[in-house]
Protein backbone atom coordinates (compact mmCIF):
# COMPACT_ATOMS: atom_id res chain seq x y z
CA UNK A 1 0.00 0.00 0.00
CA UNK A 2 1.09 3.55 -0.73
CA UNK A 3 -0.13 6.00 1.92
CA UNK A 4 -0.09 9.75 1.28
CA UNK A 5 -0.46 11.65 4.55
CA UNK A 6 -1.29 15.22 3.58
CA UNK A 7 -1.47 18.06 6.05
CA UNK A 8 -4.44 20.43 5.73
CA UNK A 9 -4.19 23.94 4.29
CA UNK A 10 -3.66 27.07 6.32
CA UNK A 11 -6.20 28.09 8.99
CA UNK A 12 -6.51 31.18 11.16
CA UNK A 13 -4.96 29.19 14.02
CA UNK A 14 -1.86 28.66 11.89
CA UNK A 15 -1.70 32.37 11.10
CA UNK A 16 -1.93 33.21 14.80
CA UNK A 17 0.51 30.50 15.87
CA UNK A 18 -2.19 29.06 18.12
CA UNK A 19 -2.66 25.44 19.17
CA UNK A 20 -6.04 24.34 17.86
CA UNK A 21 -7.36 20.80 18.05
CA UNK A 22 -11.03 21.07 18.99
CA UNK A 23 -13.40 19.39 16.51
CA UNK A 24 -14.57 20.63 14.04
CA UNK A 25 -12.24 23.64 14.24
CA UNK A 26 -11.88 26.48 11.71
CA UNK A 27 -11.91 26.24 7.96
CA UNK A 28 -9.22 27.46 5.58
CA UNK A 29 -7.90 30.97 5.03
CA UNK A 30 -7.73 32.37 1.48
CA UNK A 31 -4.13 31.12 1.29
CA UNK A 32 -5.29 27.75 2.60
CA UNK A 33 -7.79 27.51 -0.26
CA UNK A 34 -5.05 28.36 -2.76
CA UNK A 35 -2.87 25.64 -1.24
CA UNK A 36 -5.70 23.12 -1.56
CA UNK A 37 -6.36 24.13 -5.17
CA UNK A 38 -2.73 23.33 -6.06
CA UNK A 39 -2.94 19.74 -4.83
CA UNK A 40 -4.58 18.04 -7.85
CA UNK A 41 -1.90 19.16 -10.29
CA UNK A 42 0.87 18.26 -7.86
CA UNK A 43 -0.51 14.73 -7.42
CA UNK A 44 -1.56 14.05 -10.99
CA UNK A 45 1.01 11.25 -11.35
CA UNK A 46 -0.42 9.37 -8.37
CA UNK A 47 -3.09 6.70 -8.99
CA UNK A 48 -5.20 7.53 -5.95
CA UNK A 49 -7.94 5.02 -5.24
CA UNK A 50 -9.54 6.67 -2.21
CA UNK A 51 -9.48 9.88 -0.18
CA UNK A 52 -9.96 10.05 3.58
CA UNK A 53 -10.36 13.10 5.80
CA UNK A 54 -10.36 13.63 9.56
CA UNK A 55 -13.31 14.81 11.61
CA UNK A 56 -12.01 18.38 11.38
CA UNK A 57 -13.35 20.93 8.89
CA UNK A 58 -9.98 21.99 7.54
CA UNK A 59 -9.19 18.57 6.12
CA UNK A 60 -12.56 18.43 4.34
CA UNK A 61 -11.91 21.76 2.64
CA UNK A 62 -8.33 20.82 1.75
CA UNK A 63 -9.38 17.52 0.17
CA UNK A 64 -12.24 18.99 -1.87
CA UNK A 65 -10.27 20.08 -4.97
CA UNK A 66 -8.50 16.71 -5.25
CA UNK A 67 -11.77 14.85 -4.72
CA UNK A 68 -13.44 16.92 -7.42
CA UNK A 69 -10.62 16.37 -9.88
CA UNK A 70 -10.64 12.61 -9.34
CA UNK A 71 -14.38 12.14 -9.00
CA UNK A 72 -13.99 10.56 -5.56
CA UNK A 73 -16.08 11.08 -2.44
CA UNK A 74 -13.89 11.78 0.62
CA UNK A 75 -14.61 9.46 3.52
CA UNK A 76 -14.45 10.67 7.10
CA UNK A 77 -12.31 8.49 9.36
CA UNK A 78 -12.31 9.06 13.11
CA UNK A 79 -8.81 8.69 14.49
CA UNK A 80 -6.60 10.81 12.22
CA UNK A 81 -7.61 14.15 13.76
CA UNK A 82 -5.02 16.34 15.47
CA UNK A 83 -3.43 15.41 18.79
CA UNK A 84 -5.74 16.79 21.45
CA UNK A 85 -4.77 20.14 22.94
CA UNK A 86 -6.46 19.88 26.34
CA UNK A 87 -5.66 22.84 28.57
CA UNK A 88 -3.47 24.38 25.86
CA UNK A 89 -6.22 25.02 23.31
CA UNK A 90 -5.84 28.38 21.55
CA UNK A 91 -2.66 29.27 23.39
CA UNK A 92 0.23 30.63 21.33
CA UNK A 93 2.80 31.44 24.01
CA UNK A 94 6.19 29.73 24.04
CA UNK A 95 5.47 27.84 27.25
CA UNK A 96 2.29 26.28 25.84
CA UNK A 97 3.93 25.31 22.56
CA UNK A 98 6.90 23.80 24.39
CA UNK A 99 4.52 21.86 26.62
CA UNK A 100 2.45 20.56 23.70
CA UNK A 101 5.24 19.58 21.35
CA UNK A 102 7.41 18.44 24.27
CA UNK A 103 4.73 15.96 25.31
CA UNK A 104 4.41 14.70 21.74
CA UNK A 105 8.12 14.09 21.28
CA UNK A 106 8.46 12.58 24.74
CA UNK A 107 6.47 9.62 23.44
CA UNK A 108 9.62 8.19 21.90
CA UNK A 109 10.96 7.64 25.41
CA UNK A 110 7.64 6.79 27.05
CA UNK A 111 4.07 6.74 25.78
CA UNK A 112 2.96 7.77 29.26
CA UNK A 113 3.63 11.46 28.56
CA UNK A 114 0.42 13.45 28.39
CA UNK A 115 -0.54 16.78 26.85
CA UNK A 116 -1.89 18.76 29.84
CA UNK A 117 -5.60 18.02 29.90
CA UNK A 118 -5.25 16.03 26.67
CA UNK A 119 -4.25 12.58 25.52
CA UNK A 120 -1.14 10.52 26.17
CA UNK A 121 0.90 8.57 23.65
CA UNK A 122 -0.97 5.32 24.21
CA UNK A 123 -4.29 6.97 23.39
CA UNK A 124 -3.03 8.85 20.35
CA UNK A 125 -1.20 5.98 18.68
CA UNK A 126 -4.05 3.57 19.39
CA UNK A 127 -6.62 5.68 17.62
CA UNK A 128 -4.43 6.87 14.72
CA UNK A 129 -2.99 3.41 14.05
CA UNK A 130 -6.46 1.91 14.29
CA UNK A 131 -7.72 4.29 11.62
CA UNK A 132 -4.80 3.55 9.29
CA UNK A 133 -5.27 -0.18 9.82
CA UNK A 134 -8.91 0.11 8.76
CA UNK A 135 -7.95 2.05 5.64
CA UNK A 136 -5.22 -0.43 4.75
CA UNK A 137 -7.63 -3.35 5.14
CA UNK A 138 -9.90 -1.80 2.51
CA UNK A 139 -7.12 -0.78 0.11
CA UNK A 140 -4.20 -3.19 0.65
CA UNK A 141 -2.67 -2.73 -2.82
CA UNK A 142 -3.70 0.84 -3.59
CA UNK A 143 -2.55 4.42 -3.21
CA UNK A 144 -4.67 6.31 -0.69
CA UNK A 145 -4.64 9.99 0.30
CA UNK A 146 -5.34 10.74 3.97
CA UNK A 147 -5.78 14.40 4.93
CA UNK A 148 -4.65 14.89 8.51
CA UNK A 149 -2.74 17.33 10.76
CA UNK A 150 0.76 18.58 11.48
CA UNK A 151 1.59 17.17 14.90
CA UNK A 152 -0.37 13.98 14.23
CA UNK A 153 1.42 13.19 10.97
CA UNK A 154 4.85 13.97 12.39
CA UNK A 155 4.26 11.88 15.49
CA UNK A 156 2.65 8.87 13.83
CA UNK A 157 5.11 8.71 10.94
CA UNK A 158 8.10 8.68 13.27
CA UNK A 159 6.41 6.05 15.42
CA UNK A 160 5.21 3.73 12.65
CA UNK A 161 8.00 3.92 10.08
CA UNK A 162 11.07 1.72 10.35
CA UNK A 163 13.40 4.32 8.84
CA UNK A 164 12.27 7.56 10.54
CA UNK A 165 12.80 8.37 14.20
CA UNK A 166 11.78 11.15 16.55
CA UNK A 167 14.91 13.19 15.80
CA UNK A 168 14.13 13.22 12.08
CA UNK A 169 10.53 14.21 12.73
CA UNK A 170 11.56 16.86 15.24
CA UNK A 171 14.05 18.51 12.89
CA UNK A 172 12.03 18.32 9.66
CA UNK A 173 9.17 20.77 9.15
CA UNK A 174 5.72 19.92 7.83
CA UNK A 175 4.10 23.03 6.43
CA UNK A 176 0.47 23.28 5.37
CA UNK A 177 -0.33 20.77 2.58
CA UNK A 178 3.07 19.12 2.97
CA UNK A 179 2.99 15.37 2.39
CA UNK A 180 4.63 12.33 3.94
CA UNK A 181 4.55 9.17 1.83
CA UNK A 182 4.73 5.75 3.48
CA UNK A 183 4.72 2.35 1.82
CA UNK A 184 4.01 -1.02 3.40
CA UNK A 185 1.22 -2.51 5.47
CA UNK A 186 0.16 -2.94 9.09
CA UNK A 187 1.45 -6.53 9.04
CA UNK A 188 4.79 -5.91 7.31
CA UNK A 189 5.49 -2.44 8.67
CA UNK A 190 5.86 0.99 7.11
CA UNK A 191 8.73 2.85 5.45
CA UNK A 192 8.77 6.58 4.74
CA UNK A 193 9.73 7.00 1.07
CA UNK A 194 9.17 10.74 0.81
CA UNK A 195 8.96 13.64 3.27
CA UNK A 196 8.10 16.92 1.55
CA UNK A 197 8.12 19.56 4.25
CA UNK A 198 6.94 22.49 2.14
CA UNK A 199 3.44 22.99 0.70
CA UNK A 200 2.66 20.35 -1.89
CA UNK A 201 2.22 22.96 -4.61
CA UNK A 202 5.62 24.51 -3.94
CA UNK A 203 7.26 27.07 -1.69
CA UNK A 204 5.22 29.89 -3.26
CA UNK A 205 2.29 28.68 -1.17
CA UNK A 206 4.19 28.93 2.11
CA UNK A 207 3.48 31.71 4.60
CA UNK A 208 6.89 32.20 6.18
CA UNK A 209 5.55 34.91 8.50
CA UNK A 210 3.10 32.61 10.27
CA UNK A 211 4.45 31.11 13.54
CA UNK A 212 2.92 27.65 13.03
CA UNK A 213 3.99 25.52 16.03
CA UNK A 214 3.07 22.06 14.73
CA UNK A 215 4.85 22.67 11.42
CA UNK A 216 8.22 24.04 12.35
CA UNK A 217 11.45 22.19 12.92
CA UNK A 218 12.44 22.21 16.57
CA UNK A 219 16.06 22.99 17.40
Domain positions in the chain are 2-76+120-140+151-182
Q: Does residue 193 register a pLDDT over 70?
A: yes
Report pLDDT for 214: 67
> Under DSSP, is residue 212 helix (H, G, I), strand (E, B) or coil?
coil
Pairwise CA distance, residues 25 & 207, whole Å: 20
Mark whether 194 is an active-site residue.
no
What pLDDT shows up at residue 202?
Answer: 55
Give the domain 2-76+120-140+151-182 fold: Rossmann fold (3.40.50)
Q: Which residue in 171, 172, 163, 168 sits closest to 192, CA to CA?
A: 163
Residue-wise pLDDT for 50-93, tens only, equals 999 999 999 999 999 999 999 999 999 999 999 999 999 999 99
Q: What is the pLDDT of residues 122-148, one digit of tens each?
A: 999 999 999 999 999 999 999 999 999
203 or 193: which leads in pLDDT: 193
The predicted pLDDT at position 58 comes to 98
Per the confidence metrics, is the pTM higher than 0.95? no
pLDDT at 168: 86
Catalytic-role residue among 61, 82, 119, 198: 82
Q: Is 167 in the active site?
A: no
Q: Is 86 helix (H, G, I), strand (E, B) or coil?
A: helix
Confidence band of 219 (pLDDT split at 50, 70, 90):
very low
The C-alpha R_g of the chain, in whole angstroms, comes to 16
**pLDDT above 70 for 206:** no
Q: Report the distance separating Cα 18 and Cα 5, nearest Å.
A: 22
d(CA 191, CA 62): 25
Q: What is the distance between the alpha carbons of residues 115 and 64, in angstroms, rounded to a whole number?
A: 31
Which one from 8, 60, 149, 172 is the annotated catalytic residue? 8
Spatial separation of the C-alpha atoms in residues 217 and 167, rounded to whole Å: 10
pLDDT the model gives residue 178:
93
β-strand partners of 183:
2, 191
Amino acid sequence: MRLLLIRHGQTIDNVNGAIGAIVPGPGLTPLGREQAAAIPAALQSERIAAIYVSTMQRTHETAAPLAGALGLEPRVVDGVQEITSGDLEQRSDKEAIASYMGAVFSWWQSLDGRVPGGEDGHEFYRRFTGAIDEIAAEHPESTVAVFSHGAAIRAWSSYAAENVDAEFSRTHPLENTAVVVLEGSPAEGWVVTHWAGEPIGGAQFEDASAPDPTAEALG
